[in-house]
Structure 1
Amino acid sequence: MAKDAGTTAPQAGQKEESSSLQAVADASASEESTFHPYRITLPTFRRLLSCYLTTVEQVRRRKAMLKLQPKPAKGSKRTAEKKAGSAFANPRGAMLLQKTEFDPSEEKYIKEETENFLTLDEWRYEKMPGIVARRREKGESEFLTKEELITVMDWKMKHGVYRPTLMGMIKANQNKTVLSCASAALAALPTKVDPILAPNEAFPKPSIDAFGPVRGVGPATASLILSIATAKGNPSEEVPFYSDDVYLWLCLKDFPEPERKGEETVSKFRKPNGELNVRYTIAEYRKLWEASWELHERLNRDMDAESQSKSRISHCDIEKVAYVLSNIGVSGFFASQASEDILQMEAQADTLDETAAREDKLVVKKQTKTEKEEKRAKQTEETTVNRGRNAKRRKIA
């Protein structure tokens, strides 16, 4: 019976340890319970943001690979193109590729296409905003040239859905038209107005309308230009970009569920060619603008509550996270999350082991102390008995 009890004890301990590890995993999973913009946590947002560069690189690489796919058979071109567009745009980051092995020249093309876009992406988020900020500091009224507008449109089409007619319209503009309209838009931007407390006054409708004479520039592209122009300025004056990904996430509440682990899903709000099924009106942009500011304020309040000081969340950060969510399948988010969960579970297991070891030491220490006390008591008792015997012997003698 004693033997049976001895073998049961380790099994019980293993069961308790397994339950503890499962509890850690469940706690971690509960923290990642949703990507809903109303409930997404700051740590989840940050982890998604950290996946942006990987996502951009993978999406661009896959777009380059798509161009190298075999041409469809005669008579099936329209169907093949429709399927190709749907395969890329509708599933989140998914792309169905028939050809996955490429010769050295094709690999070189894929690499160059990817690297060129990463350079363009850096220009949109870092270089051009810095250039505009310096122009504004110097008091220059003209902050955007026609050539720069062409580059903006190049990024917009490569980052999202390609619309060839837009580039033709942009190139048809006169440089002086672009310069004057962009300057008027910048001058019309509201300043020193709280977008949360006074949204009607802070909403940049006059600046959006100022781009009316520029061909190919509607509310979405106008918001992109203003986003670039305000990215390095006063955070309260930053203008969100009306991107498809942000509108899907914040306004249409279309986003992947964490429990699906990046499994492919089809967005009901996209057309077969990948375009978003919206009209790109000023009213739609107002919804996005308000939703982006609400998320912006909530996340930064959470950040202010933290003891560690980190850079504040910007609208560009929200834009990047929306892009990651739209392409979650290639973002590496769930792979990194699994690694973090494993590390956390291992750390928890180490803690449990250390605690158990300390408890074992205490038990041994207590047992040793008890044994010493018992031995001392026994020695005292024997000494007392011996003294009594010696006393009797002396009497008899």
Structure 2
Amino acid sequence: MVERAMALGREAESMIRALALISAEEGHLTRLYLTPEHRLAADLVRRWMAEAGLDVSEDALGTVRGRLAPESGGRNSVQRLLIGSHIDTVIDAGAYDGALGVIAGILAVREVIKKHGRMPFGIDVLAFGDEEGSRFPATLLCSQAVAGRFDPASLQVESVDGVKLEDALRAYGKDPAEIPAAAYEPGEAVAYVELHIEQGPVLEQADEALGVVTAIASQSRHSVTVVGEAGHAGTVPMNLRRDALAAAAEVALAVETLAQRNADDFMVATIGKLSLSPGASNVIPARVVFTVDLRSQTDARRIEAMNWLREEILAIARRRRVTAWIERTHEAVARPCDPALQAGFATTIGRHGGKSAIHLPSGAGHDGQAVGAMCPIGMLFVRCRGGISHNPAEFTSVRDMGLAVAAMIKFIEGFDPARLGRLRRADD
């Protein structure tokens, strides 16, 4: 079993490296949605799916789907287990984020086909194209469409280079009018599972290769604008200044304090982008615009925290005689992972490791947040070195990837849609 897992891990690593070669920048991995690089990556994934024995198609938003039909006459002939992740990247990315989940799904289903032919239920492996939101100011577009939750207004959003999503889709060879057909029929998708690198240090600190995800964090992103008054850096006394940057700096400390006070809820808060004007070394900043990314394991705690922060920002603005306002740019609800799917992953991990599986939340967003509006979701985390992600130093070992694929195989073999239904009804 260990030798087979290592072989699967080496195969996964080879495929990871092949995908990583597809990039808009030589020497850096950048693969954005609906670009020529996305097309090349999607074509490679299509080839791998076909070679694994899956029937391959692609929907109107570019999601590549590899389908395994259920066994003939099976009692679950309508129901499908979905396995997926994404093939887009951030700018200057690591090679494992998203890609490993797609590759692991393909390898796992290939092995199931070799051993069993077909299962009593159908299986779809999904390669989404827009999880990161690196090109357009929207995320989870592909998985929202799969879940029947795509907002047509998103077609009008513009990329950083001024291209509307609708126009980008047409240039990619897609018809936006066909997007509704990307959705699964009610009851068709019985569950969605995703294998992903942890993107954090918990598994490494616990010396565990794999972990079971309990929930995907609730998150919101806001744009904060602070407007003061420009002035000469040498002639305006400190007590008479209306310094927008000084006010923003006080807000930054409030953001940090907010998350520290709610650490029991795994709350984190980040100011990741800031711009100021006029932007001269001898001029007091008159205008500052910055982002606030707030994440929590529960929607209620996140909303409560954001309400507190909004009042704090306004109080700081009054005290410093500046003007401030806050605009929400993104929101995703917390998405708990289904107890039955958690139990299924825990069982497969136990078989490999000989001990109870570690359970942990995901602070990062994933396609499962969107798909979870349609069906139960589950996630399996894989250890990554140093907890580093969204960084060229991102790394997961061959051994851990092999154990992850082996666990996914066992999960598929033990999956029973009927049992999932019974456990969910017991929890209702």
> What TM-score do the two structures reach when normalised by structure 2?
0.23
Which protein is richer in strand relative to its size? 2
* Larger Rg belongs to: 1
> What TM-score do the two structures reach when normalised by structure 1?
0.24
Which protein is richer in helix relative to its size? 1
